[in-house]
């Protein structure tokens, strides 16, 4: 008998515990025209919030495993995830 998939709530429940759940998502996603110092400053604030988050590891692993191309996830930026070793990108 093939293994049945886990209930979706089990897969996504970590999000209900995230420190960012009530924060404006604009903190985590840059406008298309944002560059340089402004982008780095916004990312630093977003990453500092991630540093307080009880589900940061789950968030980071999610972003790595699905290849999230935008935003700060689990304390990582797009470029940091792009440079992550391949073994960290595998699904859990």
- C-beta of residue 54 within 8 angstroms of C-beta of residue 37: no
State yes or no: 64 annotated in a binding site.
no
| pTM over 0.85, yes/no | no
DSSP 29-53: S--TT--HHHHHHHHHHHHHHHTT-
What residues in the chain have per-residue pLDDT under 50? 91-92
> Which of 21, 11, 19 is closest to 92 using CA atoms?
11
> Three-class SS of residue 54?
coil
State yes or no: 72 annotated in a binding site.
no
State yes or no: 50 annotated in a binding site.
yes
pLDDT given at position 66: 87
pLDDT given at position 13: 86
């Amino acid at each position: 008998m093939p293994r049945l998939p886990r209930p979706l709530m089990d897969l996504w429940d970590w999000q209900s515990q995230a420190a960012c759940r009530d924060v404006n998502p604009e903190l985590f996603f840059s406008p298309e025209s944002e560059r340089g110092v402004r982008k780095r400053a916004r990312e630093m604030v977003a990453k500092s919030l991630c540093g307080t988050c009880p589900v940061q590891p789950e968030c980071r692993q999610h972003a790595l495993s699905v290849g999230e191309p935008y935003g700060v996830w689990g304390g990582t930026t797009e470029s940091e995830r792009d440079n992550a070793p391949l073994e960290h990108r595998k699904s859990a």
